[in-house]
Amino acid sequence: MDWKQTNVLITGASGIVGSWLVRELIKKQANIICFIRDWNPQTQLIASGDVMRTAVVNGKLENYSDIDRAINEYQIDTIFHLGAHTIVGSALRNPLACFESNIRGTYNLLEAARRYDSFVKRVIIASSDKAYGSSDILPYTEDMPLQGRHPYDVSKSCTDLLAIAYAHTYNLPITIARCGNIYGGGDLNWSRIVPDTICKLYHKQNPVLRSDGSYIRDYIYVMDVVDAYILLAEKANQPEIRGQAFNFSTESKITVLEITNKIIELMNCKELKPAILDEAKGEIKNQYLDSSKAKKLLGWQPKYSLEQGLKETICWYIEFFERHEK
């Protein structure tokens, strides 16, 4: 696929994945249209200046007319649907906002893509391991049922089912990417374990764990995710890829306490100890993915080990704090 001059719409373009995806597609000379709700100058997209090489549509996924206008007026060829309410705790406190953004937002986008299927050639849906819900059988594989039980998890299960419905009923060129916990520079959601731990350690504070530390997770570096999304887009119209969901994982599960201690080690802050609150609610105990399908059908492989990814992430945040705290 030649990305040069391809009209690409990225919802949630100022988020952690969106920001780095924009940068990679700029290198490929795509015409990028960023669909964002809020203008936050601290985000990687804006602070880096990358936004100045894109078109920006300010809007809300919950408003059909906003996303319809973006797709129609810019005659979008490729859609990366990353925009979503992504914080589990926030979704637990306000499920309506989560459902509006993630469920209504997704069917609004899919309906607009269906309406303009004369020029929309591929739609990549960013999903999550949370779509599977809790399971006694792990790792998750793509043929397992989608059975979220808590608000955020349900919203991701619905997102996937909506995408599958539009792919199979209307033959839309949709593929779904399910990732574990994505980390990397540019994540300004400080409730997440990686940025919050780095922030606390940088400021010589003890990191805080909401859970008891034993929850098992799947962590994947943001640049591996960007590579996966681009690869999915390039192969989206192949018969064995179109309408399919794919797991993307490094397949190296780790507990929340272990990754916290790893960051402590890499930042040389061994005098600081995690404070374990053990008060997490509405979160799945153990989650990790099998990505053999992506490796077999897409030829995808992660390039970053956990240590490599964390080192790059730590460097990004140190530069961020030094720049903003002068």
Q: Give the DSSP H or E segment for 81.
A: strand 78-81
Which of 132, 140, 152, 288 does the annotation list as catalytic?
152
Location of structure tokens 């649907």: 81
* 34 close to 51: Cβ distance less than 8 angstroms: yes
User: Which residue, among 279, 48, 319, has the nearest Cα to 198 in the 3D structure?
Assistant: 319
Cβ(270)–Cβ(188) below 8 Å: no
Give yes or no: 152 in active site: yes
Q: Which residue has the tokens 């990687």?
A: 44
C-alpha span between 297 and 276 (Å, rounded): 41
Angle at the Cα of 74 from the Cα atoms of 69 and 77, rounded to 5 degrees: 110
CA 128 to chain centre: 7
SS3 171: coil
- Within 10 angstroms of residue 170's Cβ, the number of other Cβ atoms is 13
Type and span of the H or E element at 33 = strand 31-36
What tokens appear for 18 in the block? Answer: 């969106």
Q: Which residues contact 296 (CB under 8 A, 6 or more apart)?
A: none
The Cβ-side half-sphere exposure at 8, using a 13 Å CA radius, reads 30
Listed in sequence order, the DSSP H helices in 118-240 are: 151-169, 193-202, 222-235
The residue behind tokens 């779509």 is 131
Rounded to an integer, what distance in angstroms lies between the CA atom of residue 298 and that of residue 241? Answer: 8
Token digits for 22?
């924009």
Which positions are annotated as active-site residues?
152
